[in-house]
Amino acid sequence: MRIRAMRASEGSENHPGAPSGPRRLTSRLRGWGGVSAMAVACAVTAATVLLPLARATPEAAGRAPVREPASMAVAPAAPRGPADTCQDPEASLRPSGLDGATIARIKAAGKLVAGVDQNSFRWGYRNQAKEGSGLDGFDIDLVKAIAQDILGDPNAVIYRAIPTSQRVPALQEGRVDIVVRTMTINCKRLEEVAFSTAYFEAGQQVLAPRGSPITGYDTSLKDKRICFASGSTAETTLKAQSYGSVPVTVPNQLDCLVRLQLGEVDGIVTDNALAAGQAAQDPSVQLVGSPFTREFYGVAMNKDASDLVRRVNKVLEEYRSGGNESLWMKSYLKHLQPVLPGVTAPPAPKYRDG
């Protein structure tokens, strides 16, 4: 019943080659308890009060040299994704603690409205042992740090769970102030929203069942049903080079894991940072091949909220500082190190003027 209730919410799209009729669940459903709990949680909606985003005027800031981002060891030589056609997409506005129109509005409301995920294990997910909102993860820790800086209270947050494809519209329509949801900074998105400096580096990789003939992002994908979330960078990548795979699109990335467990798809393309958490939930699946892109996550905001962008960059400067004792590293060790070991530092920020 849990499976059917969740699947009914996905829509009625049909995909070439998808199996029909009931399927017998195989041993791939090991680890299903955690996944089903989060799938059910997807149906839970966040607060419904809409807070309009105001226009803001960028503040002046001093000059400082542009610094190159640190590279994560798992993807030292991977190329940029196909959506990166501009120079230095990770370069953001210089940090500032000054209040502008957007900051003033958030303070007047007394709440920061954050678009997050609630079904990405270790990033943004519903932890049944967690009090309050029940949300936990690396992205949630960052949201709380931003709320602490602006409002003096890490819990002064209205969380809105939004699907991958709604991250940009939610900002443009004023439904959220920020999106902290493993969102890759790239040139195409910069035309629609603004980003902070990068707070994590990841790369696209293939997730497949153990024993699968799929060996990575290569010709082994031919005629295989490959799942990805609508509006994700994986969608852009596979549109550019599919290797003859059959695309299967879903609203949320976790839906791909459910379909893989049911035998309705053969593999998944997503960020390895997300896939590592899924592999930890279900030991019958694994990452295959190597990461084939370099992608940097950023906090997304409305393009007109320049003061908020600068304020978030100020928070990130403090969040990264302190080396192994930084809040960033403490959050990494708590949430991500068990599933994504080997990361020694956050990406260094890059800045631009104007």
Q: Dump pLDDT digits (tens) for 61-86.
A: 332 322 333 333 233 334 555 555 68
C-alpha to C-alpha distance for 126 and 139, rounded to whole angstroms: 12
C-alpha to C-alpha distance for 177 and 308, rounded to whole angstroms: 9
Q: What is the pLDDT along the chain (354 residues), one digit of tens a residue?
A: 333 333 333 333 333 343 433 333 444 443 434 444 444 333 333 332 223 222 232 233 332 322 333 333 233 334 555 555 688 999 999 999 999 999 999 999 999 999 999 988 999 999 888 776 689 999 999 999 999 999 999 999 999 999 988 999 999 999 999 999 999 999 999 999 999 999 999 999 999 999 999 999 999 999 999 999 998 989 999 999 999 999 999 988 888 999 999 999 999 999 999 898 888 888 899 999 999 999 999 999 999 999 999 999 999 999 999 999 999 999 999 999 998 899 999 999 999 987
Is residue 176 left, alpha or beta, with left meaning phi > 0 and alpha meaning psi from -120 to 50?
A: beta
C-alpha to C-alpha distance for 54 and 57, rounded to whole angstroms: 10
Q: Cα 69 from chain centroid?
A: 19
Q: Which long-range contacts (CB under 8 A, 24 or more apart) does 332-337 make?
A: 332/138, 334/141, 335/122, 335/123, 335/136, 335/137, 335/138, 335/141, 336/122, 336/138, 336/273
The SS3 of residue 257 is helix
* In contact, 116 and 140? CB cutoff 8 Å: yes
Q: Find the Cα–Cα–Cα–Cα dihedral 305, 111, 122, 293, rounded to 10°.
A: -10
User: Parallel, antiparallel, or unpaired: how do β-strands 295-297 and 200-202 relate?
Assistant: antiparallel
pLDDT tens track for 196-233: 999 999 999 999 999 999 999 999 999 999 999 998 98
C-alpha to C-alpha distance for 243 and 114, rounded to whole angstroms: 37
The SS3 of residue 73 is coil
Measured in degrees and rounded to the nearest 5, phi and psi for residue 40 equal -65, -40
User: Parallel, antiparallel, or unpaired: how do β-strands 295-297 and 178-179 relate?
Assistant: unpaired
One-letter amino acid at 203 equals G
User: Parallel, antiparallel, or unpaired: how do β-strands 285-288 and 204-209 relate?
Assistant: antiparallel
pLDDT value for 26: 40
CB atoms within 10 A of CB 22: 6
User: Parallel, antiparallel, or unpaired: how do β-strands 225-229 and 246-250 relate?
Assistant: parallel
pLDDT value for 24: 35
The H-or-E segment that residue 158 falls in is strand 157-161
Distant-in-sequence, close-in-space partners of 150: CB < 8 Å, separation ≥ 6: 103, 106, 107, 112, 311
pLDDT value for 83: 56
> How much is the mean pLDDT over the chain?
80
Which single residue is written with the structure tokens 């996550």? 297
Q: What's the maximum distance between 2 C-alpha atoms anywhere in the chain?
A: 64
* In contact, 218 and 206? CB cutoff 8 Å: no
Q: Give me the residues paired with residue 92 across strands.
A: 351
C-alpha to C-alpha distance for 171 and 179, rounded to whole angstroms: 8
Task: Describe the crossing of helices 306-320 and 101-109 by its angle, rounded to 10 degrees.
Answer: 80
